[in-house]
Chains A and B, each alone.
Chain A
Amino acid sequence: MKGKRIIRSRIMVAATMGVTVLAVAACGMMAMMGTGAEPPAAEEFGLGPRHSAQGAYVAQIQPAAPLAVRKMQSVNIRITDAQGVPVDGAAITVDGRMPQHGHGLPTRPRVTRAHGNGVYQIDGLRFNMGGWWEFRLVIAGQAGADSVTFNLDL
Chain B
Amino acid sequence: MKTTRVLPVLSVVVLASVAGAAAAWDRGWTDEEMETIRSLWIGELGPLPEDPTNRFATDARAAELGKRLFFDTRLSSNGAVACATCHDPERAFQDGIALARGVGTTDRRTMPIAGTARSPFLFWDGRKDSQWAQALGPLESPVEHGGDRTRYAHVVARAYRAEYEALFGSMPTLDAAPASAGPVADPVARAAWDAMDAVRRDEVTQVFVNLGKAIAAYERTVDHEPSRFDRYAEGLMRDGRTPEHVLSEDEEAGLALFIGKGQCTNCHNGPQFTNNEFHNTGVPAAPGLPNDVGRFAGAERVLTDEFNCRSRWSDARPEQCSELEFLATGGHELERAFKVPSLREVADRAPYMHAGQIATMEDVVDHYSRAPQAPAGHTELRPLRLSAREKAQLVAFLRALSGEGKE
Per the bound structure, the CA–CA distance linking A108 and B326 in Å amounts to 5
B residues 106-157 near A (Cβ < 8 Å) are none
- Is A109 part of the binding interface, using a Cβ–Cβ cutoff of 8 Å? yes
B267/A129 in contact, CB under 8 A: yes
Q: Give the nearest-CB partner of B270 in chain A.
A: A70
Q: Which of A81-135 contact B (CB under 8 A)?
A: 100-110, 123-124, 126, 128-132
Q: Which residues of B contact A129 (CB under 8 A)?
A: 266-267, 269, 275
Task: Report the interface size class on chain B.
Answer: 20 to 34
Residues of A contacting B265 with CB < 8 Å? 130
Given contacts A70-B276, A130-B265, contact A108 B3 (CB under 8 A): no
Residues facing A in B254-311 (CB within 8 A) are 265-267, 269-270, 275-279
Task: Chain B residues near A45: list those with CB within 8 A.
Answer: 1
Closest to A107 in B: B326
Task: Return the contact of B322 from the options A32, A101, A106, A124 (Cβ within 8 A).
Answer: A124
Given contacts A70-B269, A124-B322, A131-B3, contact A103 B333 (CB under 8 A): yes
The minimal Cβ–Cβ distance linking B129 to chain A, given in whole angstroms, is 13
Is B318 interfacial (CB-CB < 8 Å)?
no
Bound together, the chains give a CA A107 to CA B277 distance in angstroms of: 10
Contact with A along B2-18 (1 / 0, CB 8 A): 11101000000000000
In the complex, the answer to whether A106 meets B278 with C-beta atoms within 8 Å is yes
Whether the pair B6, A33 counts as a contact (CB closer than 8 A) is: yes
Q: Write out the residue numbers on chain B whose beta carbons fall within 8 Å of the beta carbon of A153.
A: 1-3
Interface centre among A35, A69, A103 (most CB of B within 10 A): A103
Is B378 engaged at the interface, CB distance under 8 Å to the other chain?
A: yes
* Bound complex: CA A126 to CA B276 (Å): 11
Q: Are B1 and A39 in contact (CB under 8 A)?
A: yes
- Chain A residues contacting B333 (CB-CB under 8 Å) are 103-104
Contact A34:B380 (CB < 8 A) given known A107-B326, A107-B328? no
Number of CB contacts from chain A to chain B under 8 A = 71
- A residues in contact with B378, CB < 8 Å: 102
Q: How far is the CA of A129 from the CA of B380 in the complex (A)?
A: 12
- Report Cα–Cα, A146/B378, bound state, in Å: 30
B327 at the interface (CB under 8 A from A): yes
Determine if B266 and A101 form an interchain contact, defined as CB atoms under 8 angstroms apart: yes
Contacts of B380 in A (CB 8 A): 101-103
A72 at interface by CB-CB < 8 Å: yes
**How distant is A21 from chain B, measured CB to nearest CB, in Å?**
15
Given contacts A70-B269, A129-B267, contact A35 B382 (CB under 8 A): yes
Q: Is A19 an interface residue (CB 8 A)?
A: no
B383 touches A34 (CB 8 A): yes
A70 to chain B, nearest CB (A): 5
Residue pair A109, B326 in contact (C-beta under 8 Å):
yes
Q: Tell me how far the C-beta of B264 lies from the nearest C-beta in chain A, rounded to whole angstroms.
A: 11
Residues of B within 8 A of A105 (CB): 328
A42 proximal to B (CB < 8 A): yes
Top 5 nearest A-B pairs (CB, nearest first) are: A124-B326, A34-B382, A128-B277, A107-B326, A132-B3
Interchain residue pairs with CB less than 8 A apart (30): A32-B6, A34-B383, A39-B3, A39-B4, A45-B1, A69-B269, A69-B275, A70-B270, A101-B266, A101-B380, A104-B328, A104-B333, A106-B277, A106-B328, A107-B326, A109-B326, A110-B326, A123-B322, A124-B322, A126-B326, A128-B267, A129-B266, A131-B3, A132-B1, A132-B2, A132-B3, A153-B1, A153-B2, A153-B3, A154-B2
A-side interface residues toward B, CB under 8 Å? 29, 32-35, 39, 42, 45, 69-70, 72, 100-110, 123-124, 126, 128-132, 153-154
Which positions in B face A, CB cutoff 8 Å? Answer: 1-4, 6, 265-267, 269-270, 275-279, 322-323, 325-328, 333, 378, 380, 382-383
A-B contacts besides A39-B1, A72-B322, A132-B1, 5 pairs, CB < 8 Å = A39-B3, A69-B270, A103-B279, A104-B333, A130-B265
